[in-house]
A = this chain, B = another copy of it.
Amino acid sequence: MTQQRQADLILSGSYLLPASCQNAVIKNGAIAITHDQISAVGTTEQILADYSSARHIHTDHGLIMPGLVNTHTHAAMSCFRGLADDLPLMTWLEEHIFPVEAHLTPEMVYQSTLLSLAEMIKSGTTSFCDMYLFSKEVAKATEHSGMRAWIGEVLYDFPSPCYGELENGFSYLADLYAHYKDHSLISITSDPHAVYTCSPELLTRLGTVAQDNDSLYVIHLSENEAELNTCRERYGCTPVEHLERLGLLTPKTLAAHCVMINDKEIEVLSRRGTSVSHCQESNMKLASGTAPVVKMLQAGVKVGIGTDGAASNNDVDMFGEMNTVAKSHKVARMDPTAMNAEETLHASTLGGARTLNAGEQIGSLEVGKKADMIVLNMDQPHLTPLYNIPSHLVYAARGADVIHSVIGGRLVMENRRLLTLDEGRILAQMREMGQEISRYGKD
């Protein structure tokens, strides 16, 4: 008998799904974690023979799977969840969101981000890509939670509630890049808001910043008809064409939404290696449309799934999002085979990781990858019987089924109890903040 190797943590359960295919399922599977990495994946019998570890968490009827990757959100917008719904976009923004955003403070962003972090961990997300104001606070809260994230400060032509004049935005962003250089969990991104709120000069200058820092360039792109029309009027081309002309469609560009794009534009995105974050629930709720995701995938475009912010969803639950995505494209194309369970799960795990240029690090359970994973309790009525795991994950599971979460080798939730965040305190503070925000809305 060979000598046992030492791991920091072993997880085992009735099922282990290393990637998004049913035929990859390991029954009675286990995973050994050393520091922040996966050191072995196999049957529980194998792993326990090969490894000893300080901690072993076994879950009967448990499913171990990669943590979900939320490729587009505004975590701090959780403070606006349900503040105003069912309204035309401009009424919603101008009469409800902008007036309260004018009152935003760094502390509000910090607290509201903590709320979304709690919700994300409790619903199975282990990494996310965030764009918002006061993003130093977003990053600080995220560090506190132990989540993995890509975080950017949104820049646009007009003054920001965070940094004031645009020029200050660039130094704010430079601080972020400097502070999180080589951070193990947090990466900084360059985030122009959109083509209709950023001049070509701003778009280009941020492109250079992204390139200089070897980072992602994240932008809202072709979200709805209004954006398309504005861009056409102003520049005589579509938003995708506009970025293409400016040389800003690269393999490091992550475009959120891409609802209003045609076959030719899909071809351009594919050729440039540009990624798309598909935010179906938000696009439905704001009546923007349904992005042609099936065509994008057929053309080889990298597509991830995002919840968008809680103000337009109204949650950040990737399980709910997967369910909606898989069903929406079937009815949009009148084809029940469109966006099947495995494709949808892939877009929420490894596919999503690839849109963040992180497919080598996360998104599947493989030796040498970062140890980002979740465990679901499959011993429940809505998950019984169990014929096909991807099917259940996409069509029947929900966030509340996640019981444990490990990010970068660190246990951040055990038996639904958050270990890095004080949930009770966060909820109490957000209830108070909600009362304050209600008053702003009535100013």
Interface residues of A (CB under 8 A from B): 78-79, 81-83, 85-89, 92, 115-116, 118-119, 122-123, 281, 283-290, 310, 313-317, 320, 323-324, 326-328, 330-331, 333-338, 340-341, 379-382, 384-388, 391-392, 395-396, 398-401, 423, 426-427, 430-431, 433-435, 437-438
Contact = CB atoms under 8 A, between A and B. Distances in A.
A82 B388 contact: yes
Contact of A81 (B281, B310, B316, B385): B385
Nearest to A434: B385
A86 B337 contact: yes
Given A287-B335, A290-B331, A384-B427, 10 more contacts: A82-B388, A82-B392, A82-B395, A82-B396, A86-B330, A87-B336, A87-B337, A314-B396, A385-B431, A385-B437
B285 A431 contact: no
B283 A331 contact: yes
> Which of A88, A122, A284, A337 neighbours the largest number of chain B CB atoms within 10 Å of its CB?
A284
B286 A82 contact: no
B82 A386 contact: yes
Nearest to A328: B284
The 10 A-B residue pairs with the shortest CB-CB distance, nearest first, are: A385-B434, A400-B400, A86-B340, A119-B381, A284-B327, A82-B391, A314-B395, A287-B336, A284-B331, A118-B381
26 contacts: A81-B387, A83-B387, A85-B388, A85-B391, A86-B330, A89-B336, A119-B382, A122-B382, A123-B382, A284-B330, A287-B330, A287-B333, A289-B334, A290-B331, A316-B382, A317-B382, A320-B398, A328-B328, A381-B423, A381-B426, A381-B427, A384-B430, A385-B430, A386-B434, A387-B434, A398-B400
A17 B327 CA distance: 31
A395 B311 CA distance: 10
A85 B386 contact: no
A273 to B, nearest CB: 28
B423 A391 contact: no
A122 B396 CA distance: 14
Given A314-B391, A391-B85, A115 B289 contact: no
A435 B386 CA distance: 9
Nearest to A331: B284
A contact patch SS:
helix
B313 A395 contact: yes
Contacts of A290: 331
Given A382-B119, A391-B82, A434-B386, A399 B396 contact: no
B379 A427 contact: yes
> Which of A81, A289, A398 neighbours the largest number of chain B CB atoms within 10 Å of its CB?
A81
A395 to B, nearest CB: 4
Nearest to A339: B86
> Which of A331, A335, A392 neighbours the largest number of chain B CB atoms within 10 Å of its CB?
A331
A20 to B, nearest CB: 13
Contacts of A287: 330-331, 333-336, 338
A37 B396 CA distance: 34
A337 to B, nearest CB: 5
A89 B331 CA distance: 13
